[in-house]
Amino acid sequence: MGFVPLSDTISEDKNGLFALPLLYFTPDTRWAAGAAGVYYFKVKPSEAHATQPRVSYIQFLADYTQNKQLDTWASWHVFTQDENYLLKGDVRYRDFPDRFYGIGNDTELSQKEQYSYQLFVLKSLQLKKIKPGFFIGFDYELEYEYNFQYAPNGVLSNGTITGYKGGLGSALGVVSILDTRDNIINPYKGRYAEFSTYFFSPLLKSTFSFQTINATYQQYWQLKPKHILAWQTKARFTFGEVPFLDLSTLGNDDILRGYPKNRFRDKHFFATQLEYRFPLFWRFGGVAFGGVGDVFGPSSTLISSHLKYSIGTGLRFVVDPAERLNIRLDYGYGREGGYFYFVVGESF
């Protein structure tokens, strides 16, 4: 184990620790600083001629933002011997001043109100290989949202929004994953599909009773060396007594860049995007992307006049060629203007 040199050759054992100071910018945090790291490794196959498992990783992040937001997070994505099991999960603590714009896909920027809260999350997912690249299993999710503070005379402070005081979320989930990507950090080819459903229930000591259904599909085509066409579609549906922090949201630094994080909230979400990634010179690369989608629910149906679009371009710099780890600078433009994003890792 050691710090990985920035070598353009892929090591034989694929074990190493990559750590770096963290500096990034998003419209939701403004400038943020901290540290991030990834320990990645390969579990040896049971037999010499067996298929080599893909790289596993354990990553951590801690940062503090210009908006006085504290975020600490550790996650893992581990393939066991011969990829018989896939173990995923994360632990997270956030002390997070944020913004609330209301519920629905037609809210205005002028409706913005400030609030803050603290959050603890634990997820632990165990998946069994059914056939190469295909896994099915169970997940347990625990989230505790507390210590809410609101702007005076706002919608949240009047107590009409479900979950305005926070509470405990406890759920069991059923998850299936199809993953044939050649690299889980920055794929050149293959596909990733995930379907899951989670049941938050008072039987599990959950404050609220609701269900989520989640679907993701991603595919990657290598048109020629290092010229990648990437496609992603995501959907999320919620049913029951859904607290506002667990509603489906639109706006982030991954899909539909160009909107502040959680700019729109409602019970359901659907979006799709296409991205073209290409080399420029040395370790620099570029991207162009576009997407469309929206949140919707009983009060705001999915109609063309409300659809949100996103177009943009970006610059990439490879900090770890062996694992294709990039730093990216993106500019995304949507219906309400544009935003810059400076973060570590590809959008999907």
More confident of the two residues 269 and 6: 269
Q: Which position has the token pair 């794929």?
A: 187
Give the per-residue pLDDT at 37: 82
Domains and CATH numbers, the chain: 66-344 (2.40.160.50)
**Model confidence pLDDT, tens digit, residues 289-348:** 999 999 999 766 777 778 999 999 999 999 878 778 888 999 999 999 999 998 878 999
Using CB atoms within 10 Å of the CB of residue 281, give its burial: 0 to 12 exposed, 13 to 18 middle, 19+ buried. Answer: exposed
**Model confidence pLDDT, tens digit, residues 159-170:** 899 999 999 999
More confident of the two residues 304 and 121: 121
Give the per-residue pLDDT at 142: 97
**Model confidence pLDDT, tens digit, residues 263-305:** 999 999 999 999 999 999 999 999 999 999 999 997 667 777 7
What is the pTM assigned to this prediction?
Answer: 0.86
Q: Whole-angstrom Cα distance, residue 2 to residue 314?
A: 31
Statement: residue 111 has pLDDT above 60:
yes
Greatest CA span in the chain, whole angstroms? Answer: 67
Q: Whole-angstrom Cα distance, residue 217 to residue 193?
A: 4
Give the per-residue pLDDT at 14: 59
More confident of the two residues 82 and 227: 227
pLDDT confidence band for 151 (50 / 70 / 90)? confident
